[in-house]
């Protein structure tokens, strides 16, 4: 049994684990919502690569992509002073992520720094990171906070970009499918990601990025020059159709009306021809019907005359028989 301070320490029991995060402050696991987050973070989800982050609690927990990955059990939260062996996507990187980093990513995974872009100066980069710290080449954000802004990616976008550049589009899609806007990131950066995947080392990626940025700048200058040289007064109101366009539209409408009229005339002629044919057919059928009726009447008259002749012959034969009988009686 210990004495003095050691005795008091043993009586107090074992020292409780600290709830401090990587920023040195107590995390939010002490309140009710924090208990829920710690419960969710304890579950493990199978992912092909190791994921890690240094979380400095700069972001809103409801909108933080890194905290959502932690709740899903996809990423591990590292402490300040703890290093990472895989690729570390960090603003403190010396080179850019390239396809040659594929082996490192597959063996050791990737890590990010979860912090706010507005408070980037507060991050102790000398106490975090690792041997393979990398920057990301030119890409456009799709998250709701910085949508459309270049180089303002959040945690999940940075990890997905790292996986996609080294050739693992499937891993990138697996991460982004947990966010409603996630597939949009791959869609709007598809051309850039394909271009980076065709490179090999850091220098080739930087050369491709430089060429793409030069093309964007050239197109921007051309649009600016077009706006400067074009006289807006000669352009007229873009919301109103010009006279030439109106005349062309009217001419097209007239041509369409003429075509419609000709089609209607042809249809009327065809209908009239059909009516004439129908009338002639009706007249022919009526004449045929009349002829048939006349033939039937003639046959009836002939039959009646024949029956009358037979009746007369029968009467004459009867009269002759009577005369013969009377003459025999008289005799």
Q: Which of 224, 252, 280 is the last residue of a domain?
A: 224
Same domain, 49 and 97: yes
Same domain, 95 and 244: no
Residue 267 maps to a domain: yes
Two tokens, residue 33: 């919502």
Same domain, 160 and 207: yes
Residue 318 maps to a domain: no
Residue 8 maps to a domain: no
Residue 283 maps to a domain: yes
- What's the pLDDT at 168? 96
Average pLDDT (151-156) is 91
Same domain, 120 and 266: no
Same domain, 208 and 283: no
Predicted confidence (pLDDT) per residue in 275-323, tens digit: 776 776 776 667 767 777 677 777 766 666 666 656 666 666 655 665 5
Residue 194: pLDDT over 80: yes
Same domain, 140 and 282: no
Q: Which of 166, 192, 224 is the last residue of a domain?
A: 224
Residue 187: pLDDT over 50: yes
Average pLDDT (17-23) is 51
- What's the pLDDT at 215? 93
Same domain, 102 and 144: yes
- What's the pLDDT at 46? 82
Residue 202 maps to a domain: yes
Same domain, 119 and 171: yes
Residue 96: pLDDT over 90: yes
Same domain, 62 and 205: yes
Predicted confidence (pLDDT) per residue in 49-81, tens digit: 999 998 887 777 788 898 999 999 999 999 988
Residue 47: pLDDT over 50: yes
State the chain's mean pLDDT as an integer.
77
- What's the pLDDT at 312? 64
Look-up of token digits 């004495």: 3
Same domain, 197 and 110: yes
Residue 291 backbone zone (phi > 0: left; psi -120 to 50: alpha; other: beta): alpha
Same domain, 43 and 170: yes
Residue 84: pLDDT over 70: yes
Instruction: Identify the band that residue 148 occupies on the pLDDT scale cut at 50, 70 and 90.
Output: very high
Same domain, 52 and 34: yes
pTM for the whole thing?
Answer: 0.58
**Domain encompassing residue 90:** 15-224
Q: Which of 224, 240, 268 is the last residue of a domain?
A: 224
Residue 317 maps to a domain: no
Nearest to 134 by CA among 91, 168, 100, 165: 91
Domain count within the chain: 2
Residue 179: pLDDT over 70: yes
Residue 308 maps to a domain: no
Residue 1 maps to a domain: no
- What's the pLDDT at 183? 94
């Amino acid at each position: 049994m210990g004495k003095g301070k050691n005795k008091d320490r043993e009586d107090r029991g074992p020292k409780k684990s600290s709830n401090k995060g990587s920023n040195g402050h107590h995390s939010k696991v002490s309140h009710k919502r924090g208990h829920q987050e710690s419960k969710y973070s304890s579950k493990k989800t199978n992912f092909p690569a190791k994921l890690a982050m240094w979380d400095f609690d700069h972001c809103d927990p409801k909108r933080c992509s890194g905290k959502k990955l932690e709740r899903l059990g996809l990423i591990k939260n590292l402490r300040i002073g703890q290093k990472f062996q895989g690729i570390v996507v960090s603003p403190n990187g010396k080179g850019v992520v390239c396809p040659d980093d594929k082996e490192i990513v597959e063996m050791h995974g990737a890590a990010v720094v979860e912090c706010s872009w507005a408070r980037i100066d507060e991050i102790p980069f000398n106490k975090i990171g690792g041997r393979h710290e990398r920057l990301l080449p030119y890409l456009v954000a799709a998250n709701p906070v910085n949508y459309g802004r270049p180089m303002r990616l959040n945690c999940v976008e940075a990890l997905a970009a790292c996986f996609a550049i080294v050739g693992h589009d499937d891993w990138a899609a697996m991460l982004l499918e947990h966010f409603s806007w996630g597939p949009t990131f791959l869609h709007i950066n598809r051309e850039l990601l394909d271009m980076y995947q065709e490179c090999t080392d850091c220098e080739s990626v930087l050369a491709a990025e430089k060429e793409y940025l030069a093309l964007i700048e050239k197109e921007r200058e051309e649009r600016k020059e077009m706006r400067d040289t074009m006289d807006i007064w000669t352009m007229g109101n873009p919301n109103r159709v010009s006279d030439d366009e109106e005349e062309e539209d009217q001419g097209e409408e007239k041509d369409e009306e003429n075509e419609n009229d000709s089609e209607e005339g042809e249809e009327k002629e065809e209908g009239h021809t059909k009516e004439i044919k129908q009338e002639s057919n009706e007249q022919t059928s009526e004449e045929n019907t009349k002829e048939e009726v006349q033939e039937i009447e003639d046959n009836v008259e002939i039959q009646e005359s024949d029956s009358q002749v037979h009746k007369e012959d029968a009467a004459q034969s009867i009269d002759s028989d009577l005369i013969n009988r009377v003459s025999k009686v008289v005799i």
